[in-house]
Structure 1
Amino acid sequence: MKVPKILIAFLVLAGFLLWWILSIDKHDDWLHCNIKLTLERFEEDSKARNIYSHTLKLDSLTEFDWDSLIYFSNPIDSDDGTFSNAEISKEIGIKITGRTICDYCDRLIFIKNGEVVSFVDLDSKDNKDPRIRIKGGEESGATVNSNIFLKKDATFIVYESCKKGNYGGFVFLPVNKLEQFKTDLENSCYK
């Protein structure tokens, strides 16, 4: 049986479109779940054993190679486009494609050789995901809400913040700059 050329062309085009759609969005759902589960485990361990902080080597959660991380915090309604992919791309000089950063989200963008290899959004609105704050990176120049970390510096002390009785989510402090942020650990929920 002879297959019509139009059918072959259609299947090739459909395959190309599927590949293109999947390659545009670099959001890593597996990493999203892995981060969420790790933070939930930290919380359970802190409550059960009264441990106020944990050490997290971020590359232990990734299944891809990267050399730097850009952290963006979007703590406000971004309908004004301040945190659109186009704006982030313009500011950091690296093209960001795929879904736009959501309101009240924290975005971790993993870079390798100047290109995005993956990113993950943690949506803290309505407690969908844990709220995170990563301190101590070098300013990326993008916004006051962003920092960049080299992979070698992406080992963190992680704790849950309860400053003055208000829950503030998980705070990540770089181990290599811990002395600079030592007083922050006094805000741990489990100290």
Structure 2
Amino acid sequence: MTIIRRFTALILAVGLVGTAAAQDGKLKIATIDMQQLFKEYHRTNEAQKQINVERARIQKENNERLARIRELDTELQNMRKQLDDPSISDSKKQTVYRDWQMKQNEGIALDRERREFLQRRNQALNEKMVQRMKGILEEIRKLGEEQAKAEDYDYVFDKSGLSTSQVPFLLYTKDATDITAVLLKTLNKDAPPESEVTEEEAPAAEGGE
């Protein structure tokens, strides 16, 4: 989803900086893969499933509204045939024409309401989704910071972060320790068995449209 990709790209581009000072003049550096942590964290999968349920509910109501509009369209077509039928009297055609205008206006109003409903509900869902993902990313960031302090790292860099030109911020680090697996194990220690994240269900945490 584009809105998630845009948001995570912004958050993930910011590396974590440890506060410990190097004792022997040599920096102690670690790296993490925020995109992997985000995708494989069980809370991300749970949030995505809830969002999919809400999106399906919106689509269901939209389909119901569309069904009524299509019924009106069918009625309008039948009325149009009556208006074109030379065997029907002029007085009858006038009555049919008035009904046709009323139903046409009703259809226009219903379609406008449907579009406004769809835009309003999708916008609200997108905002809710961004807030959920923001909370998850902040939780991961805090865990990474705690791990950095506990292990006395001077710097922790996000190796998945990309610049605006889609070039990795971190091109090379000497003697850096990747702590992604450690963090992922901690994040998913209380995950229920059915919360395993799949590639299809996890929202993309990458830049671009």
Give the TM-score taking structure 1 as reference length. 0.23
Higher alpha-carbon Rg: 2
The TM-score with structure 2 as length reference comes to 0.21
Q: Which has the higher helix share?
A: 2
| Structure having the larger proportion of residues in strand | 1
